[in-house]
């Protein structure tokens, strides 16, 4: 019984070590469409283009840190398991990507409110 309890405890610890997410798992944060209310349709399109141009780099950073973190976690568990408790995750990269996704949603909402095409 003690072995089963120990394995369950280790499983829970393993599952909770890294908070790193893939870019596809990051959801947008809420940004009010009113943030872009002062822009006309062309201004909204330009703002969307600026934000869209940052998304691939942000996604790449999130995925890179997530992959590195997962590799470190695996190595830590194999070589030195206490080190696995110190995984940093990719919260900063996730926040930047979530913000960009939120901006795009806000711009889209503002554009729909102004009757902009596309």
What band does 12 get if pLDDT is binned at 50, 70 and 90?
very low
The CA distance from 99 to 95, in Å, is 6
DSSP string, 82-98: GGGGG---SHHHHHHHH
The CA distance from 51 to 53, in Å, is 5
- What phi and psi, each to the nearest 5 degrees, are found at residue 90? -130, 45
pTM value is: 0.66
Q: What is the pLDDT of residues 40-84, one digit of tens each?
A: 999 999 999 999 999 999 999 989 888 888 877 777 767 766 665
Q: What is the pLDDT of residues 89-114, one digit of tens each?
A: 777 888 889 999 999 999 999 999 98
């Amino acid at each position: 019984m003690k072995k089963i309890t120990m394995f369950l405890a280790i499983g829970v610890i393993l599952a909770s070590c890294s908070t790193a997410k893939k870019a596809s798992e990051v959801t947008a944060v809420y940004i009010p469409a009113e943030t872009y209310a002062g822009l006309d349709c062309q201004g909204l399109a330009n703002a969307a283009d600026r934000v869209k141009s940052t998304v691939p780099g942000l996604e790449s950073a999130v995925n890179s840190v997530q992959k590195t973190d997962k590799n470190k976690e695996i190595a830590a568990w194999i070589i030195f398991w206490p080190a696995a408790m110190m995984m940093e995750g990719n919260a900063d990269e996730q926040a930047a990507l979530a913000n960009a996704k939120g901006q795009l949603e806000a711009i889209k909402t503002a554009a729909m409110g102004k009757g902009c095409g596309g």
